[in-house]
Amino acid sequence: MIDQGKVKQAVRLLLEGIGEDSGREGLKDTPERIARMYEEIYGGMEESAEEHLKKTFHVDNNEMVVEKNITFYSICEHHLLPFYGKAHIAYIPDGKVVGLSKLARTVEMFARRLQLQEQLTAQIADALMESLNPKGVCVMLEAEHMCMTMRGIKKPGSQTVTVVKRGGFSNNPELINLFFQMIK
Ligand SMILES: Nc1nc2c(ncn2[C@@H]2O[C@H](COP(=O)(O)OP(=O)(O)OP(=O)(O)O)[C@@H](O)[C@H]2O)c(=O)[nH]1
Ligand SMILES: [Zn+2]
């Protein structure tokens, strides 16, 4: 639950900390704006993956399902700066599939929290394993971290790629290659 009062107070202090006048015209509504924005960008803390993934459909076809290029925006927990990119998900159903939008909803829900990219990748894969009991899941995230581009080491264009394999993907290079081919 976002504590709006605490966020507003903290933003005022932050503005003063960087030497700004938190009461000046351009900044006077900023604490309020940021508190509202946090409801949105950290809104995933209030949601659960089970809710999004509870409605499933029966299928006889257990071939791999791939949803690729799911755009996401998250916030790095070390610097509170955005990292953003694309998520690609593959799973092999075991008689049960989920609505396609729910894959994107799952990504978005975990992304709208303070995150590490590795953790975000694993959380998406584990949520799908738990809710769908599929034969396997593979999740790949490709992202640019603003803490690596606009500050610090300053390497614009650098991309962090993370992969998590579960179930049948863990020990099957052929399946993994097929997934990589499909998301190219
Ligand atoms: N593994 C991982 N590291 C991340 C992620 N996001 C940011 N980081 C890194 O977290 C590290 C924090 O390092 P620190 O040395 O504590 O902080 P810092 O002095 O600001 O580090 P620099 O970015 O090197 O200036 C940095 O190397 C970041 O690049 C992420 O999602 N996963
Ligand atoms: Zn960072």
Domains defined along the chain, listed by start: 4-41 (1.10.286.10), 55-183 (3.30.1130.10)
**Among protein residues, the one whose CA lies closest to atom 25 of ligand 1:** 152
Q: Is there an atom of ligand 1 within 6 Å of 147 CB?
A: yes
ipTM value: 0.89
Distance (Å, whole) CA 176 – CA 170 = 8
Neighbours of 120 (CB within 10 A): 23
pLDDT by residue, tens only, the chain of 184 residues: 899 999 999 999 999 999 999 999 999 999 999 999 999 999 999 999 999 999 999 999 999 999 999 999 999 999 999 999 999 999 999 999 999 999 999 999 999 999 999 999 999 999 999 999 999 999 999 999 999 999 999 999 999 999 999 999 998 999 999 999 999 9
pTM here? 0.95
Distance (Å, whole) CA 118 – CA 140 = 10
Instruction: Determine the distance separating the centroid of ligand 2 and the alpha carbon of 78, expressed in angstroms.
Output: 5
Predicted local confidence at residue 26, as pLDDT = 98
